[in-house]
Structure 1
Amino acid sequence: MRLSKRVGTFTDSVIRRMTRISNEYNAINLSQGFPDFDPPKELMNVLADIAHNGPHQYSITFGAQNLREALAKKHEKNIHRPIDAEKEVLVTCGSTEAMMCTMMTICDPGDKVMVFSPFYENYGTDAILSGADPIYIPLVPPSYDFDINLIEDGFKQGAKAIIVCNPSNPCGKVFTYEELEAIGKLAVKYDAFVVTDEVYEYLVYDPHKHICMASLPGMYEHTITCNSLSKSYSITGWRLGYLIGPEKVVEAAKKVHDFLTVGAPSPLQEAAVTALNFPDSYYEDLKALYTEKRKYFLDGLDKIGLVHNVPQGTYFVMIDITEFLDMPAFSGWSDLEFCEWMVRNIGLAAVPGSSFFKEEVNHLIRLHFARSKETLDEALSRISKLKDKAWMAEHAGK
């Protein structure tokens, strides 16, 4: 018996694979991006009450009414327009489903979709699973700028949409108003969609600002905003995501969602309403927390002497491992092999950069700093072995 051809066109998630390898060696996992500290106490307390009092049965397939209303209210501030909770909001099982649901809603087999490179690994696969062909647009290191002419070329080729992760995983780029405006004007010109992934919307570091593409003049009807509660409230395991967009798109996406997953967990939806009603001070504190973590971790990398970028947003940092791959002991190694060696010998898990790039990139790895100070201290201590000549002489390449 033969399997479908599409499953042979992509691998399993390298990010999640690195977590499994990390668990096998009891390593510090700085590969898959989730915190090692608890969600807000208010959120855990209300979930404990719901565990005894419910709801425990199906909610409305498209999302609990009170959650959709809370999401609409939240995004009205960011998008600067009224949002209809009945017709323009859909709750999904994480932003992963939100993105997949969106792609299956707007794409037919043979359509084209533009994806920035580097990209979160799901995007290319989402295009393939929906039958579309990805067109990759380079974000050029170290500043991760792009050529707007390449985007227009993509639309001229018939691209139906462009995916914009803002802030961007893995490189931490925060798109400026001018960049978003330029992309948006082309989407309007060619009557196409901009599909945004905005899960790191609150993890943006001064002086950079997060701007919703849907808030730009004329862009709401061309934008599908995918988001999640995972990163803002440290609840990645709850798998609560959503999409917001024009009624025509959301009403169609509801049909895909209904048969794809039926609905998100009702107890978790009920609890999440509490988080969406947090005051502005919560988000200010969250930004301050991650600003401190970013500084602490990057200062540690600088002290060790590792070359890295400075993320404008998210909690990811890209490390340049060229100097190590140039060593005779690592001659011919891929970045994946180096990451697996790090897990075995250093006890630290990273993600090979090649899993994020369409271009031939073998010299970068991604780490994250959504960890406690104690964990970051130990991680920095372990990775500092890369600069210990005696230790490297004994362990390199083994």
Structure 2
Amino acid sequence: MSAEFPPLQNDLILRVFKGEKTERAPVWCMRQAGRYLPEFREIRVEFDFFKVCRTPELACEVTLQPIRRYEGLLDASIIFCDILVIPQAMGMEVLMIPGKGPHFPKPLDTPADMLELIDLGDGYNADTELKYAYDAITLTRHKLEGKVPLFGFIGAPWTLMAYMIEGGGSKTFAKAKAWLWKYPESVHELLERITNVSIDFLKGQVKAGAQILQVFDSWAGELSHDDYMEFSFPYMKKIAFELQKTFPEIPIVAFPKGLHSKTLETIALETDYTGISLDWTADVEGLISNLEPKMCAINKPLVLQGNLDPTVLYADKHVIESKTENMCKKFSSVKYVANLGHGMMPTHDPEHLKWFLEAVHKYSRI
């Protein structure tokens, strides 16, 4: 597969995910391609959000923008797309409303609405519905010229289901969580359908050229440990198992935002994820202390990613450097990928991200 693309010049992040010791921590940032960059906003003046996602040349250009701007500072790129392309591929309309975010004009109100989704039986092909994403990945791999590896990604089934029922973001997730108690059989049917499309989509991304994968479970923290184990964990586990079975050489990272250590440990110990990404609320030192010996016992390297609070990037250079140094020290005993605890924000100053990247280069060296 790699022979089709320019040779990779920077494999630092891939070596970390293999469990190898590296000269420093690799660094990239969630949402590093997008709305905080003036060059991205220029594109958005002319094209709406999903038009950019669905046009390979535009998605490629946006993916490359931070790689150009932070030349030599980023160790990975991530394809510009959106987790909600899977509900779109399943037959739902999703709009991106400026200043508001994603909006589903016709969310799933009751299980009867699932009949409106595309039949995933004979004749359905996720590759046809999502070909634009594969074309963007292949084009980007060539345009990157081997500078850094390329991430592909999806949203986790529970997170996608929550959006599909809520009709957008939510403060309480009351509608989605009500489904768990009122319609548990339908919930598992829907989660299974989303999972199967997700697996096909990730496999297609790898075939198109993605070198690393990440699964964003953005609303994981809305569930208790027991509820997460019932309504998210089995599907997260299946995704990693199927991808590792087919592409054992491709690292796959779980980002279950908001989970406590007990649940994070279960994901690390009982699934095939190569790494776990942590948000800024995680007890990093406690997690490492409890988990590292257990991982050693099963001969699996502990690879963690994260976890600077994105709001730190509103601070001055001194504070950003100090907080980044602190973060690097917390992760220094394990295999580690430096990142934020969530994504870049629209009002972040691009120069402040540069200070963060430079600080990782400085303070994560062995």
How high is the TM-score relative to the length of structure 1? 0.26
Which of the pair has more CA radius of gyration? Answer: 1
TM-score between both structures, scaled by the size of structure 2 = 0.27
Structure with bigger helix share is: 2
Q: Which has the higher contact order (CA 8 A, sep 6+)?
A: 1
